[in-house]
A = this chain, B = another copy of it.
């Protein structure tokens, strides 16, 4: 391991602390939560927290809750970025299904090479969201949270990108597949029908088609 680089394990701790903190009001988390997330035991976490404190990656005092420092968060975000870019690669390029990508991405996210990620991102066409619809941080760590809105709220003539669904029933997913819409699909709203809220949509240069209000209300997009 090159000097300055973190170990696989340290990176996993930062990632866990990051994601647990994000889910909390006070942007912090606890020893036990981390232990549970990483399927390890609290004493192990206690040890690591001391180590990460020494490296100034977390702000932590005995018996208190844990928060990432600015540099700790920066590193965590870079790992998330790598994880999500690899997920896009696995899904879009290698045709893994949505649910198969995570495990492998967990390994790939720890590959150390700036250049690799830069080129991978370029190859993938600078995607903004992973196959689960979660946003991909930029190289600078910016989390563009292009507010996710309902397709039904998109204005006429606007381009948007599909980032998730509200309904994950089989019929709905099959319908999506049939009309060739998936996470990441970019589409344009070319018309709306006042009468019943139907929408006319265009994908790339394919023929336009119409979807119902019920449909568009179940698709999440970002501008």
Contact = CB atoms under 8 A, between A and B. Distances in A.
Nearest to A112: B107
Nearest to A107: B111
Contact of A113 (B107, B120, B123): B107
Interface in A88-119: 90, 93-96, 100, 103-104, 107-108, 111-113, 115-116, 119
Main secondary structure of the interface of A (DSSP, over half): helix
A113 B104 CA distance: 7
Contacts of A95: 119
Interface of A: 90, 93-96, 100, 103-104, 107-108, 111-113, 115-116, 119-120, 123
Contacts of A123: 93-94
A139 to B, nearest CB: 16
Contacts of A112: 107
A168 B95 CA distance: 38
A93 B116 CA distance: 11
Contact of A116 (B94, B111, B115, B120): B94
Contacts of A90: 116
Contacts of A104: 111, 113, 115-116
Nearest to A90: B116
20 contacts: A90-B116, A93-B123, A94-B116, A94-B119, A94-B120, A94-B123, A95-B119, A96-B115, A96-B119, A100-B115, A103-B113, A104-B111, A104-B113, A104-B115, A104-B116, A107-B111, A107-B112, A107-B113, A108-B108, A108-B111
Contacts of A119: 94-96
Contacts of A96: 115, 119
Contacts of A108: 108, 111
Contacts of A111: 104, 107-108
